[in-house]
Amino acid sequence: MNQSKNEEWIDERGRRVPAAYVKKCDKFAEVSTEKLLKEAVSLNKKLTAFKEKIIKDTTEFIEKKAISFGGKKPSENGNYDMYNFDRSIKVSVAISNIIKYDSVLAQMAKEKFDEYMNSEFGETKVYFKNMVIEAFSVTNGKLDPGKVGVLTASKRDNPDPLFQEAVALIEQAEIRSYSATYHRIYTRNDDGSYQLIDLNFSSI
C-alpha cells in the first residue's frame, strides 16, 4: 500500500510517481480499497466457517432423524428441510444436478427428430413436433434440461421408431457434470410464508 505521506508512490507498472502528482481521488481509493479488502477477507472467513457449521449441523440432523425413525442415514441426503420446534425457522438443503449435453450426440438427435417431423403428419404428430421445437430452443446457447426432460418423458406415448431412436440419442447425450448444494435459512412471516435470509452479496 502506498502512503500519502511518502514522497513517491508506485503505480501498476512499477513507476515512481511524486506524491504531489497523485490525485486526491486516487489517494482516497488507496486507503478505501485497503480497508475494504481487509473487511472482505474477514467476512469471507466468517462465511466459510458459517457454511461449514450449516453442513455439520444439517448432516448431524439427518443422522439423528434416521435413528429416531429406526433407519440408517442415506448415502445421499438429497433435498430436505430442518425446522425448529414451532417451525418458525427453516434451514433448507437443496441439491441441483448440473446437466449438459454432448454437442455431437445432441446434433445427431436433432437430425433424427427432424427426420421424424418431416415424415407424414397427423394431429398427434403435430403435438410431438411442438414438443421437439420447444426442447431444442436454446437459452444462452444451451439446451434447457427441463424442456428436454419433458420430451424424453413423452417416449412412452409415442412408439414411432424414428421418435424412439431420437429420444435414445438425446438421452445418451446427457452429461451430469456435477452437483451443486445450496444451503438457505428462512424465517416464517405472520402470514405463514417463509422469508429467505439472503446471504448473496449481490442480492442484499
90 plus 141 within the same structural domain: yes
**Domain finish residue from 76, 94, 119:** 76
Residue 26: Cβ-neighbour burial (10 angstroms; 0-12, 13-18, 19+): middle
Tell me what percent of the chain is helix, strand and coil, each rounded to the nearest 5: 50, 20, 25
83 plus 125 within the same structural domain: yes
Q: How confident is the model at residue 98 (pLDDT cuts 50, 70, 90)?
A: confident
93 plus 170 within the same structural domain: yes
**Count of the separate structural domains present in the chain:** 2
* 139-171 pLDDT per residue, tens: 778 899 989 999 999 999 999 999 999 999 999
91 plus 49 within the same structural domain: no
Query: pTM surpassing 0.75?
Result: no
* 5-29 pLDDT per residue, tens: 558 999 999 999 999 999 999 999 9
Domain that holds residue 90: 78-204
Residue 4 has what pLDDT? 47
